[in-house]
Amino acid sequence: MGMMRFVIRRLLIIPPLLIVLSFFLFLCIHLAPGDPARMLAGEKADENQVELVRKAYGLDKPIYVQYLRWLIGWPGPDPQYIENVPEEYREFYTSYIPKGILRGDLGRSWKQASIAQSIKERLPVTLELTVLALLIAIGMGLLLGIVAALKRGTIVDYLSTTGALFGLSMPSYWLGIMMMLVVLSIFGFMPFHAHHPTASILLAATALGAFHTASIARMTRSSMLEVMGEDYIRTARVKGLSERAVILKHGLKNALIPIITILVLQIPWLFGGAAVLEYIFGIPGMGRLMIESTGVTPASPYPDPIVILDLFLVFMILTVLANLLADILYAYVNPKIRYE
């Protein structure tokens, strides 16, 4: 019961958090240089048209009015100005009236594509990449850490410990680039997503998971060493349990607590790292969309603040949920934890 209430309370934090964050980012958008009306009207538009767009879309209104419009779609565009729009542009101005994010409309990008639609297409890709990276990290990290702890002082331990140290210092984008280089020189192709989707996602997930693998391996090694010296391990052995059961059921389960703590600390890194690797491998995920929306790539030379804002909020929700999941896992492994 306590658990349920804890989860609900944590979920209830999300909406106010998103409102505060989105208002802050909205303020930043407002402060930023550049004229959104000009961008919306297009490059060929003359001054009159830009002014029309500004009024029709309420871009001349104060920031909180614009924010409300983005949030709940009210107040909508001024009908008077829409009537004044010359016939040939009218369809453009009236074809889309924002309903507000709370009513499920995330808005449109400058290219008039539905943001909700692009997030819906890209979210599964990002999730696939991050979950795969986490699975690789947890599986490899636990394995390396346990082996290193059990074979303490041998060459295996030495290799895995040094490997982990290097893994912690390798930026994931550097690993990704090197993997590309290796694939290129051995197999003769660049593993971009457009041509080799499976290979690119696997490589990207390995590169993304390397840092986490290293830190999980390190943590597993030290906490396994600590746990395996405890009295209850000796008791388990005396009871005649197989060594495997001793290591997995009694050793690992107790060693998991600090490992999960480390994992929780790294969740915020995961999505940022995923963005970088999506960009390198050309994987069409949310991170890549965000980077493209900053306007640095030749394909989309204009910054698109509303897309960035929406994507950031989605990333925020994902981070909070991932943390919550890790906390639940933590409580599952460590029954001593109580939730007030």
Partner 1 sequence: MFASLIGWVRRTWASPAARKFRRNKLAWVGLAIVSAVVFCAIFADFIAPYDPVEIVGPEKAPPSRQFLLGTDDVGRDIFSRIIHAVRLDLGLGLALVGLWTAIGVPLGLIAGYYGGKIDSVIMRVVDGLYAFPYLVFAIAMAGILGFSLKTIVIALGIVGWPQFARVVRGKVLAVKTEVYVESARAFGEKDRNIMLRYVLPNSLAPLIVIMTLSLATSLIIICALTYLLPVGVYLHEAELGSMLSASFGQMRYYWWWATSIGLTIVVIVLGFNFLGDGLRDALDPRLRY
Residues near partner 1, by CB under 8 A? 17, 25, 28-29, 31-34, 165-166, 168-171, 173-174, 177-178, 180-181, 184-185, 190, 258, 264-265, 267-269, 271-273, 275-276, 279-280, 287, 290-291, 293-296, 303-305, 308-309, 311-312, 315-316, 319-320, 323
From the number of C-beta atoms within 10 Å of its C-beta (0-12, 13-18, 19+), residue 337 rates as: middle
CA distance 224 to 220: 6
Which lies closer to partner 1 via its Cβ, residue 11 or residue 28? 28
| Least distance between partner 1 and beta carbon 312 (Å) | 4
| Least distance between partner 1 and beta carbon 23 (Å) | 13
| Least distance between partner 1 and beta carbon 85 (Å) | 29
CA distance 67 to 201: 37
**Is 274 strand, coil or helix?**
helix
Q: Are residues 170 and 211 in contact, defined by beta-carbon separation less than 8 angstroms?
A: yes
CA-to-CA dists, residue 235 to 184, 189, 218, 226, 228, angstroms: 54, 56, 26, 16, 11
Which lies closer to partner 1 via its Cβ, residue 93 or residue 211? 211
Which lies closer to partner 1 via its Cβ, residue 251 or residue 305? 305
Which lies closer to partner 1 via its Cβ, residue 97 or residue 296? 296
Which lies closer to partner 1 via its Cβ, residue 76 or residue 303? 303
| Least distance between partner 1 and beta carbon 246 (Å) | 26
Q: Are residues 18 and 318 in contact, defined by beta-carbon separation less than 8 angstroms?
A: no
Which lies closer to partner 1 via its Cβ, residue 2 or residue 272? 272
DSSP state of 34: S
The dihedral sign for the CA sequence 223, 226, 229, 235: negative
Which lies closer to partner 1 via its Cβ, residue 80 or residue 169? 169
Q: Are residues 140 and 131 in contact, defined by beta-carbon separation less than 8 angstroms?
A: no
- Give the distance from CA 8 to its chain's centroid: 22
CA distance 141 to 151: 15
| Least distance between partner 1 and beta carbon 89 (Å) | 28
| Least distance between partner 1 and beta carbon 308 (Å) | 4
DSSP state of 102: G
| Least distance between partner 1 and beta carbon 315 (Å) | 5
| Least distance between partner 1 and beta carbon 223 (Å) | 10
Which lies closer to partner 1 via its Cβ, residue 175 or residue 236? 175
Residues near 271 by beta carbon (within 8 Å), at least 6 away in sequence: 126, 130, 287, 315, 318, 319
Which lies closer to partner 1 via its Cβ, residue 152 or residue 237? 152
Question: What Rg do the C-alpha atoms of the chain give, in angstroms?
Answer: 26
Q: Are residues 176 and 247 in contact, defined by beta-carbon separation less than 8 angstroms?
A: no
Measured in Å, how far apart are the chain's first and last C-alpha atoms? 11
| Least distance between partner 1 and beta carbon 219 (Å) | 9
